[in-house]
Amino acid sequence: MLNNIGLPGLLLIAVVVLVLFGRGKISSLMGEVGKGITSFKRGVSEGNKEIEDASAEASDEARHESEKDKV
């Protein structure tokens, strides 16, 4: 369905949205969307770091346990 819109349809939708909401409201909305994307990226990178730290800690513990078993 969205494949049939084309450039004129997108321009018409953009004009209607601009008329309905106004430039200021759209600008503030896009600012909030940008903040949300930045926050999401930060959360994903922090989550990846926590996973890497946990796996490194688990491998260190396993290494220490195997060294204790050898002694």
- Binning pLDDT at 50, 70 and 90, where does residue 25 land? confident
53-to-6, 11, 35, 43, 57 alpha-carbon distances in Å? 47, 48, 27, 15, 6
Question: What is the Cα–Cα distance from 61 to 53, expressed in whole angstroms?
Answer: 12
4 has a pLDDT exceeding 90: no
Report H helices in the chain: 6-21, 23-70
Per-residue pLDDT for 39 more than 90? yes
**Window from 4-8, 18-22, 38-42, 63-67 with minimum mean pLDDT:** 63-67
